[in-house]
């Protein structure tokens, strides 16, 4: 009886110690996050105002690099042949925990932070409809907090921030992965803006994109149409064949396109036309198969319209590979830090913008809770996918937008430019920082996560980027 009592007492005592240590870590992280809140909130809003497109994020990238350099991080600029890509590292010994940060905007979504659609006249015509201004700033914010914890506790470890440009269709991280920039990393942590708070093991679609250019012969469309061969006919014939192909592809696939060049005047037979395609599927092999079928339609269209066709692969991403070993730690920390509460003014803003939503999937108030831990799949794609096949990767999503907001919308731009966005970014910074610290404290988690990754990808896995050996398309967003 005495032995059992002592055993129970020991367990209770151990629980109290662990619980106290967790509270101490949480308090330390909270203190550090609050200390730097104004600075990184200002950086986020500056990046929101810059709204720079992929590979053009000169100001945004420099803001983050300068902030981390000031905090004692060693900066490596223009990595992987990309002027706006960089790494920032603190520490010289011990395992490397990487934190990803994005900062590119989306074209055609310039918007004020008004709860009504109100286009802003900025330099780029772009807007942060995916919240990457918050992504980059909060990740850097977390990296600084981890650095301070390492210093205060005299812990050997390295925290490395990756400034990753052009996630939106540019696959910036793929070029960084292809260059071997993640080879010495233990685990990778990242996050993304959302309208809910979650830290679930999540997969995604892999994808591959290309621009198909058709060239024909110009002529007067009325005076001498027989002398012309329309490049636009080639594009339209291709699109028609792809749309018929949809009936005969796996149902989880996605194919979408936009005509980026179609001619300038109806009375001139266009001698140049271009269409931009995305092909998606959960399996990389199926993406390759579907992409080749799309290429065949382009060749057939060129043959039938007596035009010539060439194509350029623009980007390609692996599917996102979950890792439960570290994802569970991330979820635990998100639960510990809790949801997001709105002030009276924020509630009024939320109610106003909520009226502009079409069939919102979440209600105001849901930002105060955490989504249950469960496996999920996204039909979108991300270049984090490639990283996750090389290094154990875990992510978190926080409510930077009013619940019910659709990503890539003007409403996402608007609320991301308010204190609502900053509150979500703060929660992300706390969660990532706490997770990194937990891993530094228990480095067996790295071994466990790497073992899980090896079991998932298989012993014969050899990384080969879906976009091949092409150079980064640094001008893909110009004009």
Q: Residue 29: pLDDT band by 50, 70, 90 thresholds? A: confident
* Domains contained in the chain, CATH given: 27-203+319-457 (3.40.630.10), 206-317 (3.30.70.360)
Q: What would the pLDDT profile of 286-342 be if each residue is shown by its tens digit?
A: 999 999 999 999 999 999 999 999 999 999 999 999 999 999 999 999 999 999 999
User: How far apart (Å, rounded) are the C-alpha atoms in residues 458 and 342?
Assistant: 46
Q: What would the pLDDT profile of 215-243 be if each residue is shown by its tens digit?
A: 999 999 999 999 999 999 999 999 999 99
Strand blocks (E) in 282-382 = 308-317, 376-378
Q: What would the pLDDT profile of 176-212 be if each residue is shown by its tens digit?
A: 999 999 999 999 999 999 999 999 999 999 999 999 9
Question: What integer pLDDT is reported at residue 16 of this predicted model?
Answer: 44
Alpha helices in 51-157 (DSSP H): 58-70, 132-153
User: How far apart (Å, rounded) are the C-alpha atoms in residues 168 and 54?
Assistant: 7
When mean pLDDT is compared across 15-24, 339-348, 353-362, the lowest value belongs to: 15-24
Q: Residue 5: pLDDT band by 50, 70, 90 thresholds? A: very low
> Structure pTM?
0.91
Q: What would the pLDDT profile of 60-116 be if each residue is shown by its tens digit?
A: 999 999 999 999 999 999 999 999 999 999 999 999 999 999 999 999 999 999 999
Average pLDDT over residues 16-26: 50
The CB density around residue 23, as the number of other CB atoms within 10 Å, is: 11
pLDDT score of 353 more than 90 = yes
User: How far apart (Å, rounded) are the C-alpha atoms in residues 419 and 446?
Assistant: 35
């Amino acid at each position: 009886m005495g032995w059992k009592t002592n055993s129970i007492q020991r367990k209770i005592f151990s629980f109290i110690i662990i619980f106290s240590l967790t509270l101490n870590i949480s308090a330390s992280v909270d203190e550090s996050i609050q200390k730097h809140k104004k600075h990184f909130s200002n950086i986020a809003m500056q990046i929101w105002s810059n709204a720079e497109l992929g590979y053009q994020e000169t100001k945004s990238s420099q803001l983050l690099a300068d902030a981390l350099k000031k905090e004692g991080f060693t900066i490596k600029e223009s990595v992987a042949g990309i002027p706006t890509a960089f790494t920032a590292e603190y520490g010289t010994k011990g395992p490397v925990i990487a934190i990803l940060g994005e900062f590119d905007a989306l074209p055609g979504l310039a918007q004020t932070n008004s709860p009504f659609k109100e286009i802003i006249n900025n330099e780029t015509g772009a807007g942060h409809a995916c919240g990457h201004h918050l992504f980059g700033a909060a990740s850097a914010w977390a990296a600084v907090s981890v650095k301070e914890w390492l210093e205060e506790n005299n812990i050997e470890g390295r925290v490395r921030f990756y400034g990753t440009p052009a996630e939106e269709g540019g696959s910036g991280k793929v070029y960084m992965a292809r260059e071997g920039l993640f080879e010495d990393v233990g685990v990778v942590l990242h996050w993304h803006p959302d309208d809910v708070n979650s830290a679930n093991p999540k997969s995604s679609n892999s994808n591959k994109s290309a621009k198909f250019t058709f060239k024909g012969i110009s002529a007067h469309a009325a005076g001498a149409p027989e002398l012309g061969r329309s490049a636009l006919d080639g594009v339209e014939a291709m699109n028609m064949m792809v749309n018929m192909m949809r009936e005969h592809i796996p149902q989880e696939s996605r194919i979408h396109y936009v005509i980026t060049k179609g001619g300038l005047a109806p009375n001139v037979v266009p001698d140049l036309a271009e269409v931009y395609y995305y092909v998606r599927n959960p399996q990389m092999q199926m993406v390759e198969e579907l992409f080749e079928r799309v290429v065949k339609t382009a060749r057939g269209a060129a043959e039938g319209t007596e035009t010539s066709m060439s194509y350029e692969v623009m980007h390609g991403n692996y599917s996102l590979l979950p890792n439960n070993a570290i994802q569970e730690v991330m979820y635990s920390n998100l639960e510990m830090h809790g949801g997001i509460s709105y002030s009276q003014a924020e509630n009024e803003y939320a109610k106003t913008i909520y009226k502009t939503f079409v069939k919102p999937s979440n209600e105001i108030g849901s930002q105060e809770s955490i989504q249950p831990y469960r496996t999920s799949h996204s039909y979108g794609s991300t270049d984090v996918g490639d990283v996750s096949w090389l290094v154990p990767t875990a992510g978190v999503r926080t409510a930077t937008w009013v619940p019910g907001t659709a990503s890539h919308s003007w409403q996402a731009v608007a609320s991301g430019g308010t204190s609502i966005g900053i509150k979500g970014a703060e929660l992300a910074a706390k969660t990532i920082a706490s997770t990194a610290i937990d891993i530094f404290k228990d480095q067996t988690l790295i071994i466990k996560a790497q073992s899980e990754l090896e079991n998932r990808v298989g012993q014969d896995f050899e990384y080969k980027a879906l976009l091949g050996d092409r150079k980064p398309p640094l001008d893909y967003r110009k004009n």
